[in-house]
Structure 1
Amino acid sequence: MRRSKGLMSLLGAILILGACGSNESAAPEAEPSEGSEPESTETYTIGITQLMEHPSLNQATEGFQQALEESDLHVEFDIQNAQGDNSANDSIASNLAGQNVDLIFANSTPSAQAALGKTTDIPIVFTSVVDPVGAELIDSMEEPGGNVTGTSHHHPDSIPVALEFLSEELGAEKVGIVYNAGEQNSRAQIDRIQEQMDEYGLELVEATVSTSAEVKQATESIVDQVDAFYIITDNMVVSAFESVADVATSQKVPLLAADIDSVPRGAFAAFGVDFTEIGYRAGEMAIQILKGEKTPAEIPAEPPKTLKFMVNKEVAETIGVDIKPEWEAEIYE
């Protein structure tokens, strides 16, 4: 039975948590008291392993680095990118473990899985992971266990809000999704989508790819069968997002994305999270670990705190969809 609750009421129920801080005035400098600890001048080496280049992952890495650079720690980054190559991803993990870096920042599920496969001693902080428990990175979000913790980019409301929008606001019945069936992130999202589609009267039309070069052809293979596309946070497809957007827009099929960064790249709209924010939060976790305040096992893994909605004005006009004021969307022009 379909849910009758309107899109806006569901959006209104999303909990937006803001970080709060204090503005205490700076105290005058004082001589170090007897027995006080001098500031550490130790330099920590952080190995960064990122699966591939695309805006969302890049922003997560930038957010992570920003948090560390704003701390009082002395840090050197060893940044390595697998460029979507699974063999290179595995080699990067081996190299970082072999160097015995002080901490590994793993940006993507495959990056985190490869790192954990090479070391259970070096602390690992992940981000850009949909289901860290399902990916067997941690025991639970509340009690990660082992040497791993981090931030997920999957907001609990992202899928139901997107499916309701597709059904109620766009009138879609058949929704096309192109994804890499070999990526755990993608399988987790597809499973959740399939579990909820009946509730919204939607039917899934899927096309799978194994390389980014196949994305355009896969999109073309189903474009005549669907009323709308929903592109999940699949690293392979997102890296070739313009291929999907070009096909969808040329056929005037609305394309809803699961990450905000896809809107400037041609999506009609997106419900997504700020990847800089989740990367920054992962950096704060890394700071606690490097300072010896907590171990990864003692830091709960976290989902993102905010969910944003953005619409591409130019694409909306091209495909003939009116932007409704009640959507309360951020407009990209």
Structure 2
Amino acid sequence: MRRREFMGLIGGAAATWPSGIRAQQPATKVYRIGYLASASREQTLRNIGAFEAGLRSLGYRVGENIVIEYRFADGDMGRLATLATEVAGLGVDIIVSGTNATTVAAMKAARTIPIVMANSAEPVSAGLVASLARPGGNVTGFSSEPGDEINGKRLEFLKDTLPNVSRVGILWNPDFAPNQKRLASLREAGQTLGLTLVSAEARGPDILEPAFATLVRERAQVLVVLSDGVLFNHRGEIGVMAVRNRLPAISAVREYAEAGLLLSYGIDLADQFRRSATLVDRILKGTKPGDLPVERPTKYELVINLQTAKALGINVPPTLLTRADAVIE
């Protein structure tokens, strides 16, 4: 029998073997990740890109061995519960959340599905985890709060920029529980620096105009924005109003400076989303989320918006520019 015929016979016989015998390589497992955000896709593209890049660095390929189910509330916090229930119902292996509100919604919708919070404020006092070292339950992730001292640092940056400032406006959402502690630390730091604080509450976008009117009436010279999911979603409007009302402003993350605030100082939010991929990987490989400590920020960045400085007629001190991690020109 010629060799070609012999090989043909073997190939034909193999076609009739049971599939379990014929298959030499097991099918690649495809993991399904839920991603829950309070903002819109467009507002969180940087974080999405960082998270997917983190997954790629660990060998995951979207559409090949991992599927990400994205759900965006588009700034409507009332939609989070429905979106979380929808994601949980898709049979996802893990849910990635981005704020306290999204984490709470995910926890209520998914009692047993692991949850990785890429960004959380005071997660212990907020009831998201039992402790940072031993979270327990099905939640772990990252805390965005490095400590009270960072609030004082933001006041220092404003005073370094405008040495004669004496009245500082504080724009904050009283419905976000961690803000009470933040406000207390700002008051303490303000006393040390000889600053008078002016409070203006804003629970939603419809309150922003009256809040800025209060700040102007109370003769605020600069502004600190206490970030939360609601104000973050409307940072564009806040940036416009701050410039219109001649208020040099600072907040927690780069996205605020990109939206028109003069300064931002705080965590690198995208970096935390990138690092969240490592926790996702460990959980997919069998580690229980409750056994993974909640991690604190390791990277902070100062961002200066020179376009806003020019619009406000401010000459940013060269010493501050040299300390900046990024300058928007």
Query: TM range, normalised to the smaller chain?
Result: 0.7 to 0.9
Look up the match of 2:275: 281
Q: 1:249 — aligned with what?
A: 243
| Deviation, structure 1 residue 154 | 2.9
Q: Where in structure 2 are the equivalents of 1:169-318 lying within 5 Å?
A: 169-170=161-162, 171-224=164-217, 225-292=219-286, 294-318=287-311
Residue 17 of structure 1 aligns with which residue? none
Unaligned 5+ runs, structure 1:
1-37
Asked if the contact 1:172/1:228 (under 8 Å) is kept, the reply is yes
Structure 2 CA distance, aligned partners of 1:220 and 1:55? Answer: 29
CA pair 318-125 structure 1, distance change in 2 beyond 3 A: same
Aligned-pair distance for 1:64? 1.9
Q: What is the TM-score of this pair, normalised by structure 2?
A: 0.82
Matched, 1:143 2:134: yes
Deviation (angstroms), 1:56: 6.8
Q: What secondary structure, in the 3-state scheme, does the structure 1 residue paired with 2:28 have?
A: coil
Structure 1 residue 101, shift from structure 2 partner: 1.4
The aligned amino acid for 2:78 is: S
Q: Structure 1 CA distance, aligned partners of 2:181 and 2:294?
A: 17
User: Match of 1:99, SS?
Assistant: coil
* 1:90 Cα offset (Å): 0.7
Q: Which has the higher helix share?
A: 2
Identity %: 25
Contact residue 139 and residue 145 of structure 1 kept, 8 A? yes
> Secondary structure of 2:187's partner?
helix
Find 2:28's aligned residue among 5, 17, 41: 41
Q: Residues 44-63 of structure 1 correspond to what in structure 2 (within 5 A)?
A: 44-53=31-40, 57-63=44-50
- Give the structure 2 partner of residue 66 of structure 1: 53
- Name the stretch that deviates more: 272-281 or 52-61: 52-61
Contact 2:173 2:226 (8 Å CA) reproduced: no
> What TM-score, normalized to structure 1?
0.81
1:129-140 matched pairs, under 5 angstroms: 129-140=120-131
Letter in 2 for 1:159: N
Given candidates 72, 75, 78, the residue that maps to 2:69 is 78
For residue 282 of structure 1, what is the amino acid of its counterpart? S
Change in CA separation of 1:306 and 1:56 when aligned onto 2, cut-off 3 Å: farther
Shift of 1:116: 1.2
Judged with a 3 Å threshold, the aligned counterparts in structure 2 of structure 1 residues 303 and 58 are, in CA distance, closer, same or farther, namely farther
Shift of 1:169: 4.1
Aligned residue number for residue 26 of structure 1: none
Aligned to 2:7: none
Q: Does the CA-based 8 Å contact 2:80-2:102 persist in structure 1?
A: yes
Structure number with larger C-alpha Rg: 2
Contact 2:161 2:317 survives alignment (8 Å): no
Residue matched to 2:318: 325
Shift of 1:40: 7.1
* Residue matched to 1:7: none
Which gives a bigger RCO, structure 1 or 2 (Cα 8 Å, sep 6+)? 1
1:112 pairs with 2:106: no
Letter in 2 for 1:198: Q
How far apart are residue 80 of structure 1 and its match? 0.4
Match of 1:161 among 129, 142, 153: 153
Q: Is 2:239–2:256's contact at 8 Å kept on the other side of the alignment?
A: no
**Structure 2 residue runs without a partner (length 5+):** 1-24
| Letter of the 1:212 counterpart | P
Query: Is the CA contact 2:112–2:138 (under 8 Å) kept in the aligned structure 1?
Result: yes
Change in 2 beyond 3 A, CA 1:189/1:227: same
Is the contact made by 1:216 and 1:243 (CA closer than 8 Å) also made in structure 2? no
Offset of residue 128 of structure 1: 2.3
Instruction: Provide the C-alpha distance between the structure 2 equivalents of 1:318 and 1:65, rounded to a whole number of angstroms.
Output: 36
Taking a change above 3 Å as real, the CA distance of residues 300 and 214 of structure 1, as seen in their structure-2 partners, is: same
1:91 to 82, 87, 92: 82
Structure 1 counterpart of 2:254, one-letter code: I
Give the deviation of 1:43 after TM superposition.
Answer: 0.9
Q: CA contact under 8 A between 2:41 and 2:72: conserved in structure 1?
A: no
Q: What amino acid sits opposite 1:154 in the alignment? A: E
What letter is aligned with 1:325? P
